[in-house]
Amino acid sequence: MKITIITVCYNSALHIEDAINSVYSQDYEDIEHIVIDGNSTDGTKQILRDHQDKLSFWISEDDHGIYDAMNKGILKARGDVIGILNSDDFYFNDHVISTVAEAFQNNEVDAVFGDLIFVDPDNLDRTVRTYSSKKWHPDKFARGYMPAHPTFFVRRGFYAKHGLFETDYEIAADYEMLIRLLYVHKLNYRYLPMKMVKMRKGGVSSNGLKSNITLNNEIIRACRKHGIRTNSLKIYPKYFRKVFELFNHK
């Protein structure tokens, strides 16, 4: 079983090498790593050239944003299963992909996901928050919760069958995609009780009040598009839970 990992990046020279080495060091052999760069100007392209022996494919060209780049990667992918790893994220250990592949040996499993931890950008061994998907179920979309997307793997055929990321979302196209796959089309998913990805604290969807407002407005839009009844009063209380996650990250 071939597993495709897609990494999209733009001006990611500070961290892209960590993401590449994280995939390359996995103990599972049949991995296709695709990197789609948005024509970076900060040295990212040189790093990709220096590490191209570790990559199955990479390209650097203008795009129409992160989700357009993800779609390019999906269309290029040849793996049986696809996962997406952000350019400033990296896998928790070297056994993540082999565990994912083992789960997909069950032909009834369409998708898997697990837990993600946020780490201090200045000390990558220091966990500051844990995002657990253990108690997640599709009814939680209405309250602003989705499985941790960087831990999400799905059989490639479902992108062909149900469509790519919608590029008119600024932040929450991944939320809409997971609604489409897990709520609308009811893919059979399995939660893997393990920490799968380390994410540096910060990022597009968690960087300031303006981003949070945009994110939640897009979440409401995605829910309503697919017949999930929700509103701001249902969505915003999730931030109280995030406070508890700061103290429950062992």
Task: Evaluate the CA torsion angle 49, 53, 55, 56 in order and state its sign.
Answer: positive
Per-residue pLDDT of the chain (250 residues), as tens digits, is 999 999 999 999 999 999 999 999 999 999 999 999 999 999 999 999 999 999 999 999 999 999 999 999 999 999 999 999 999 999 999 999 999 999 999 999 999 999 999 999 999 999 999 999 999 999 999 999 999 999 999 999 999 999 999 999 999 999 999 999 999 999 999 999 999 999 998 654 445 678 888 999 999 999 999 999 999 888 876 765 554 445 555 5
Q: Which CATH class is domain 3-245?
A: alpha beta
Q: What is the pTM of this model?
A: 0.92
Count the neighbouring beta carbons within 10 Å of the beta carbon of residue 4: 24
Count CA atoms within 13 Å of residue 51 on its CB side: 23
- Strand stretches in 43-188, DSSP E: 57-60, 81-84, 89-91, 111-120, 123-131, 153-155
Q: Which amino acid is at 138?
A: P
C-alpha 179/C-alpha 219 separation (Å) is 10
According to the 3-state scheme, what is the secondary structure of 44-67? HHHHHHHCHHHCCEEEECCCCCHH
The domains of the chain are located at 3-245
Asked if residues 131 and 148 have their Cβ atoms less than 8 Å apart, the reply is yes
